[in-house]
C-alpha cells in the first residue's frame, strides 16, 4: 500500500521518499534513489549541484527535510528550488519546528508544501496547521480520522499566524 | 491533580461558588490556591474530568495551559486597580497577554514552561523578577505607557533574578516583542536536559546583552506588523476593567474608628489584613487562608462560598487570589469592615496575621505532590503552632517564611526572609534553611546558612533565628532589616547552638 499523507484535509497517497544518513555516512556519499526525494540539510549542502541537475534534466521534483535544530536561515536563499520542505518532529514535545514553519511562510514567503512528519497526531494538528504546515505524515499508530477532526477544534483564534495574517483584534467588526 | 486557571487572579462570586461546588462533589470538599493564583484539586477522579471541565466552561472557567511546556497563567498584583501606588492598571495588559497566549500556535511545545507576571504599581507585589518574563508598567517623560522588561528570572534549582532586556518598551509593541522573545527561547533554549531548559538558563548562557541582541534582531522583523496593538483594542479591553460604582464617602468612617478604638482584636485584624485603597472610604481586605492545622492556601468549599457571599454583599461581587495564597476583597467600604471581620471570623478566614510568620507560603509538598523530596505541610503546621501566640507574632512583626518540598521551589523558599527547602538524604526528610531572600522591587535570593535540619529540629532552629533577630533588632527594624544590617553570621551561630541531638543519634544511643 502506498504511504499516506494528510493534505487538503484528506488522506492522499504520497510518493516522496525521505533520505536519511546512516551513522557516520558522509553526505556526499549518500545514494539517491529515483523519484521525488526529501534530503537532509547536510545532503542538500553537499550535493546541491547534483540535486538541481536531477530536477532540471529529469524533472524530478526536489524536496528537503529539516531537523528541529536546522536553521531556516541556512536555506533561505534556496527556498525556490524546493517543491516540498519537510520538518521532522522526532518527539512531539520538541516544538522548534513550529518556529521553522512560521519563518518559512511569514518571513521568507515560501508557498510550496510545508510538511510535518514524525511524532505528530491529533493534538498537534491544529497548531501545526496554524503555524504554516499544509501536509502531515502522522506518527506510527496515530489515527487519521482523529487528526482530520482536529482542524476544526476552534472556530476562532486570537493571534496572527501563518494561516491568518491579522490578529482577532484587527478583524473585529467595529 | 487538576489545576484550574484563575487568569490574573480574578474571580466573580459565581465562579468561586462553582469552584466550591466542584470541590465538594468531585473532590474532598476543599481546594488549594497556589502561588500563581490557580486552584488545585488533588483528589479528582480522571474519568470525571470531562464533566468537571464542561461544568466549569459554563462559568467561563477552564484548565487550559495550567501545565505543560507552554505559556502559563499570566499573574499580576492582587491590588490591581485599587492600589494607591498604581502607575496604570495591569489587568488590561494581562488580559491582552492572556488572549494572545491562549492556544498560541507556535509556543505550545516550548523547551519548558513559561510564566509571565506583570506589575502596574511602584511596589512590585507580583514577584515579576522571578518570572520567565516580568513586565513592569512604566511611564516615559510624556506620560506614555511602556514596560520595563525582565527576562530569565525564576526559582527552581537554579534561582536567578530576571535581567532587564528593555528599559522602556512602548505599549504598542507588547505582543510583537514578547513573540520575538519567546521565539528566541523556542528555537535556542536547551532541550537536552529538563533541568536546564527554562529561559533563565539561556539568558545566563548567552549573557543579558547577547540575549537582548538576539531578541532585538528577531523583533526587527515583527515590529510594527499586524500584531502591533492599537488604541482601539487597548481601550476595548480596558473597558472590561472599569472601576465599580463607588459611593462618595468620607475619608474616615466614624463608626469604623470607634470599633478600632474599642475592639483590640478587630484593630489588630485591620492593622494586618486591611490595606489602604485609592478611593476615600474604601479598603482592600485580605481573607487569610493561613492558620495552624490547615495547609497554606487551602480553602474548604464552605470557605469559598463564604468568601463569595462576602464579595457579593460588600465588594462588588469580585474576589482576587493573591500569590501569597490568600483571597482578597478589593473594594470594601470602611463602614462595613467590622461586619466583614465578624463574618470572615465565623468562616475561619480572619487570621489577623497577614505578613507575619503565620502567613507563610508553602507548596503542597510530599503529602500530595509526586515530585516532592519532603513534606511541607507538617513543617508549616509545626512552625505555625510554635508561633501561634498573637502577641508574639505581632512582636516579631513582618516576616516572610516560605517552604518548598523540593528544588522546584513552588513554595518560593528562595524569596523568604526565612526559606525552608525539603531535601532527601538517604530516604529521609531534611530541611535546608536560607536567609535574607525577599520579593518585590529589591528581590533577592536567600543565602544557605549551613547544614540541613531534621524535621524535629526545625521549629527550634526557626525560633533561635527569630531569637537572634529579637536580640539584635533596633526599634522598628523588621527581621529582614536586622539581617541586612548585621549579616548572616549572627544568625548562623544562633541556629546551630544548643542543637538537640537529632533523633537518629539519640536512637542509636538508646539502642547502644
What's the pLDDT tens digit per position in B254-305? 999 999 999 999 999 999 999 999 999 999 999 999 988 788 899 999 999 9
Chain A contact present for B500, CB below 8 A: no
Q: Which of B15, B30, B23, B82 is nearest to B317 (CA)?
A: B15
Q: State yes or no: pLDDT of A166 exceeds 50.
A: yes
| Closest by Cβ to B226, choosing from A98, A102, A170 | A170
User: What is the average per-residue pLDDT within B339-365?
Assistant: 94
Q: In the CATH hierarchy, which fold is given to the domain comprising B78-240?
A: Sulfite Reductase Hemoprotein; domain 1 (3.30.413)
Listing DSSP states for A99-144 in one string gives HHHHIIIIIS---SEEEEEES--HHHHHHHHHHT--EEEPPTT--H
φ, ψ (nearest 5 deg) of residue B99: -60, -50
pLDDT value for B498 = 65
Q: Is residue A12 part of a domain?
A: yes
Domain edges within chain B = 2-67+260-346, 78-240, 361-511
Higher-scoring residue by pLDDT: B331, B475 = B331
- pLDDT at residue A59 is higher than 90: no
B511 band by pLDDT with thresholds 50, 70 and 90: very low
Candidate from B128-132, B233-237, B370-374 with smallest mean pLDDT? B370-374
Residue A25 lies in a domain: no
Q: Does residue B52 carry a pLDDT above 50?
A: yes
**Within a domain: A169:** no
Q: How confident is the model at residue B3, as a pLDDT?
A: 96
Contact indicator for B124, B440 with CB cutoff of 8 Å? yes
Q: Number of C-alpha atoms within 13 angstroms, CB side, residue B156?
A: 20
Average pLDDT rounded to a whole number, residues B207-234:
98
pLDDT given for residue B294 in this prediction: 81
Please give the class, per CATH, of domain B2-67+260-346.
alpha beta
Distance in angstroms (rounded) separating the CA atoms of residues B428 and B412: 22
How many H helices and E strands in chain A?
A: 5, 8
- The pLDDT assigned to B479 comes to 97
| Cβ separation B103–A168 shorter than 8 A | no
All three cell numbers of A104: 518559512
| Candidates B69, B100, B183; nearest CB to A158 | B100
Instruction: Say whether pLDDT at B502 is over 50.
Output: no
If you average pLDDT over residues A90-119, what whole number do you get? Answer: 98
Q: Tell me the C-alpha distance between B258 and A120, whole Å.
A: 68
pLDDT band at B397 (very low <50, low <70, confident <90, very high): very high
B110 and chain A in contact, CB less than 8 A? yes
> How far is it, in rounded angstroms, from Cα A105 to Cα B472?
65
pLDDT at B396: 95
Grid cell for residue B154: 525564576
Give the confidence band of A171 by pLDDT, cuts at 50, 70, 90: very high
**Contact between A102 and B186 using a beta-carbon 8 Å cutoff:** no
Contact at CB, B227 and A99, closer than 8 angstroms: no
Give dist(CA B175, CA B205) in Å, integer.
25
- CA B360/CA A167 separation, integer angstroms: 42
| CA–CA dist B383, B401 (Å, integer) | 10
Total domains in chain A come to 1
A174, burial (CB in 10 Å: exposed 0-12, middle 13-18, buried 19+)? exposed
Residue B466 pLDDT level (bands cut at 50, 70, 90): very high
Domain-located, residue A171: no
CA dihedral for B372, B374, B375, B380, sign (positive or negative): negative
Q: Which residue of B has its CA nearest to A172?
A: B233
**pLDDT value at residue B509:** 36
Are the beta carbons of B109 and A94 separated by less than 8 Å? Answer: yes
**Banded model confidence at residue B505, pLDDT cuts 50, 70, 90:** very low
If you count residue pairs, one on A and one on B, with CB atoms under 8 Å apart, how many are there? 73
pLDDT of B410 reads 87
Is the pLDDT assigned to residue B209 strictly greater than 60? Answer: yes
> pLDDT tens across A125-153, in order?
999 999 999 999 999 999 999 999 999 99
Helices (H), B353-487: 377-386, 390-396, 458-472, 479-486
* B465, pLDDT greater than 70: yes
Which residues of chain B does A126 touch, with a Cβ-Cβ cutoff of 8 Å?
A: 103, 105
CB-based contacts of A109, cutoff 8 Å, min separation 6: none
Residue B405 has pLDDT above 70, yes or no: yes
pLDDT value at A2 more than 70: no
pLDDT, residue A58, reads 85
- Closest-approach residue (CA) in chain A for B233: A169
Question: pLDDT (tens digit, 9 = 90+) per residue, B106-153?
Answer: 999 999 999 999 999 999 999 999 999 999 999 999 999 999 999 999
Strands B401-404 and B75-76: unpaired
Q: Looking at the complex, does the CB of residue B62 fall below 8 Å from at least one CB of chain A?
A: no
CATH number where A61 lies: 3.20.20.70
| Cβ of residue B512 closer than 8 Å to a chain A Cβ | no
Asked whether the domain spanning B78-240 has the same topology as the one spanning B2-67+260-346, the reply is no
Specify if A28 maps to a domain: no
Residue A121 lies in a domain: yes
Query: What is the pLDDT, as a whole number, of residue B499?
Result: 53
CB B479 within 8 A of CB B399: yes
pLDDT-derived band of residue A23, with 50, 70 and 90 as boundaries? confident
- Answer whether B230 touches A (CB < 8 Å): yes
Question: Residue A122 belongs to what domain range?
Answer: 3-20+33-164
Residue A174 placed within a domain: no
Let me know: does B143 contact B126? Beta carbons within 8 Å. no
Q: How far is B214 from chain A (nearest CA, A)?
A: 14
Question: Which pLDDT score is estimated for B79?
Answer: 97
pLDDT higher than 80, residue B477: yes
Whole-angstrom Cα Rg for chain B: 23
The DSSP annotation for B78-104 comes to TTTTT-TTBSS-SHHHHHHHHHHHTT-
> pLDDT band for position B497 (50/70/90)?
confident
Please determine, for residue B508, whether its predicted confidence score (pLDDT) is greater than 50: no
Q: What is the DSSP letter of B291?
A: B
What is the CATH architecture of B361-511?
Answer: 2-Layer Sandwich (3.30)
Which ipTM did the prediction report? 0.97
Q: Is residue A27 part of a domain?
A: no
CB–CB contact B226 A96 (8 Å):
no
Q: Check if B102 contacts A (Cβ < 8 Å).
A: yes
pLDDT at A1: 52
CB atoms within 10 A of CB B429: 20
Amino acid at each position: 500500500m502506498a504511504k499516506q499523507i494528510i493534505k487538503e484535509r484528506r488522506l492522499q497517497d504520497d510518493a516522496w521518499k525521505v533520505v536519511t544518513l546512516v551513522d557516520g555516512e558522509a553526505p556526499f556519499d549518500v545514494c539517491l534513489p529515483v523519484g521525488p526525494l526529501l534530503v537532509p540539510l547536510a545532503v542538500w549542502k553537499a550535493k546541491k549541484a547534483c540535486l538541481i541537475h536531477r530536477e532540471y534534466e529529469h524533472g524530478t521534483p526536489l524536496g528537503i527535510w529539516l531537523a528541529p535544530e536546522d536553521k531556516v536561515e541556512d536555506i533561505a536563499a534556496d527556498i525556490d528550488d524546493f517543491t516540498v520542505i519537510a520538518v521532522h518532529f522526532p518527539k512531539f514535545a520538541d516544538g522548534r519546528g513550529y518556529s521553522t514553519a512560521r519563518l518559512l511562510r511569514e518571513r521568507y514567503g515560501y508557498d510550496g508544501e510545508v510538511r510535518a512528519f514524525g511524532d505528530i497526531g491529533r493534538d498537534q494538528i491544529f497548531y501545526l496547521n496554524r503555524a504554516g504546515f499544509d501536509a502531515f505524515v502522522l506518527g506510527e499508530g496515530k489515527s487519521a480520522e482523529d487528526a482530520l477532526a482536529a482542524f476544526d477544534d476552534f472556530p476562532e483564534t486570537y493571534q496572527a499566524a501563518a494561516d491568518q495574517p491579522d490578529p482577532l483584534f484587527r478583524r473585529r467588526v467595529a | 491533580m487538576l489545576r484550574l486557571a484563575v487568569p490574573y487572579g480574578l474571580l466573580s462570586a459565581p465562579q468561586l461558588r462553582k469552584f466550591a461546588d466542584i470541590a465538594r462533589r468531585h473532590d474532598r470538599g476543599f481546594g488549594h490556591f497556589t502561588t500563581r493564583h490557580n486552584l488545585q484539586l488533588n483528589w479528582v477522579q480522571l474519568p470525571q474530568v470531562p464533566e468537571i471541565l464542561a461544568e466549569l466552561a459554563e462559568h467561563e472557567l477552564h484548565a487550559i495551559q495550567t501545565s505543560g511546556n507552554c505559556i502559563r497563567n499570566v499573574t499580576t498584583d492582587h491590588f490591581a486597580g485599587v492600589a494607591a501606588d498604581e502607575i496604570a492598571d495591569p489587568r488590561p495588559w494581562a488580559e491582552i497577554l492572556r488572549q494572545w497566549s491562549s492556544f498560541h500556535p507556535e509556543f505550545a511545545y516550548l523547551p519548558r514552561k513559561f510564566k509571565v507576571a506583570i506589575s502596574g504599581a511602584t511596589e512590585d507585589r507580583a514577584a515579576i523578577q522571578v518570572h520567565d518574563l516580568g513586565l513592569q508598567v512604566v511611564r516615559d517623560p510624556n506620560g506614555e505607557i511602556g514596560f520595563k522588561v525582565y527576562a530569565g528570572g525564576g526559582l527552581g534549582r537554579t534561582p536567578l533574578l530576571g535581567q532587564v532586556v528593555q528599559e522602556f518598551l512602548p505599549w504598542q509593541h507588547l505582543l510583537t516583542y514578547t513573540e520575538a522573545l519567546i521565539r528566541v527561547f523556542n528555537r535556542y533554549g536547551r532541550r537536552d536536559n529538563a533541568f536546564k531548559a527554562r529561559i533563565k538558563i539561556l539568558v545566563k548562557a548567552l549573557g543579558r546583552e547577547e540575549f537582548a541582541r538576539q531578541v532585538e534582531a528577531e523583533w526587527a522583523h515583527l515590529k510594527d506588523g499586524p500584531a502591533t496593538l492599537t488604541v482601539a483594542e487597548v481601550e476595548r479591553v480596558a473597558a472590561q476593567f472599569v472601576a465599580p460604582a463607588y459611593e462618595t464617602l468620607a475619608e474616615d468612617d466614624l463608626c469604623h474608628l470607634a470599633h478600632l478604638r474599642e475592639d483590640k482584636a478587630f484593630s489588630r485584624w485591620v492593622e494586618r489584613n486591611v490595606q489602604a485603597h485609592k478611593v476615600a472610604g474604601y479598603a482592600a481586605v485580605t481573607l487569610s487562608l493561613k492558620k495552624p492545622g490547615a495547609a497554606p492556601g487551602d480553602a474548604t468549599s464552605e470557605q469559598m462560598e463564604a468568601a463569595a457571599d462576602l464579595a457579593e454583599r460588600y465588594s462588588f461581587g469580585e474576589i482576587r487570589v493573591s500569590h501569597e495564597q490568600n483571597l482578597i476583597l478589593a473594594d470594601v467600604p470602611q463602614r462595613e469592615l467590622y461586619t466583614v471581620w465578624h463574618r470572615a471570623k465565623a468562616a475561619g478566614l480572619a487570621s489577623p496575621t497577614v505578613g507575619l510568620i503565620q502567613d507563610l507560603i508553602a507548596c503542597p509538598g510530599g503529602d500530595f505532590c509526586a515530585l516532592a523530596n519532603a513534606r511541607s505541610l507538617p513543617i508549616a503546621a509545626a512552625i505555625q503552632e510554635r508561633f501561634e501566640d498573637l502577641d508574639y507574632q505581632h512582636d516579631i512583626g513582618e516576616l516572610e517564611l516560605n517552604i518548598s518540598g523540593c528544588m522546584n521551589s513552588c513554595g518560593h523558599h528562595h524569596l523568604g526572609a526565612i526559606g525552608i527547602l525539603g531535601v532527601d538524604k538517604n530516604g529521609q526528610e531534611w530541611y535546608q534553611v536560607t536567609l535574607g531572600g525577599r520579593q518585590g522591587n529589591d528581590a533577592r535570593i536567600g543565602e544557605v546558612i549551613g547544614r540541613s535540619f531534621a524535621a524535629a529540629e526545625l521549629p527550634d532552629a526557626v525560633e533561635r533565628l527569630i531569637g537572634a533577630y529579637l536580640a539584635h533588632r533596633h526599634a522598628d527594624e523588621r527581621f529582614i532589616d536586622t539581617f541586612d544590617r548585621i549579616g548572616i553570621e549572627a544568625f548562623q551561630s544562633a541556629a546551630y547552638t544548643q542543637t538537640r541531638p537529632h533523633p537518629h543519634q539519640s536512637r542509636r544511643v538508646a539502642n547502644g
